[in-house]
Amino acid sequence: MSATSNGSARFLIVGPQGSGKGTQGVLVAEAFGVPQVATGDIFRANVSGGTELGKRVQAIIEAGDLVPDALTSELVRDRLAQPDAAGGFLLDGYPRNRGQVDDLSGFLAGRGEALDAVIELEVPRDESIARLRERAVQQGRTDDTEEVIANRLAIYERETAPILDVYREQGLVVRIDGVGSLDEVTQRIFDALAGRGLVAERSGGNGAAA
Ligand code: AMP
Domains and CATH numbers, the chain: 9-36+89-194 (3.40.50.300)
Ordered per-residue pLDDT tens for the chain, 210 residues: 445 555 679 999 999 988 999 999 999 999 999 999 999 999 999 999 999 999 999 999 999 999 999 999 999 999 999 999 999 999 999 999 999 999 999 999 999 999 999 999 999 988 988 888 888 888 877 787 888 888 999 999 999 999 999 999 999 999 999 999 999 999 999 999 999 999 987 655 444 333
Single-letter residue type at 165: D
Query: What are residue 14's phi and psi, to 5 degrees?
Result: -130, 135
Helices (H), the chain: 21-32, 39-49, 52-63, 69-80, 98-110, 125-139, 146-155, 163-169, 182-194
Best of 60, 67, 152, 155 for a ligand 1 pocket test (most atoms within 8 Å of beta carbon) = 67
CB of 153 closer than 6 angstroms to any ligand 1 atom: no
Atom of ligand 1 nearest to the CA of 94: 19
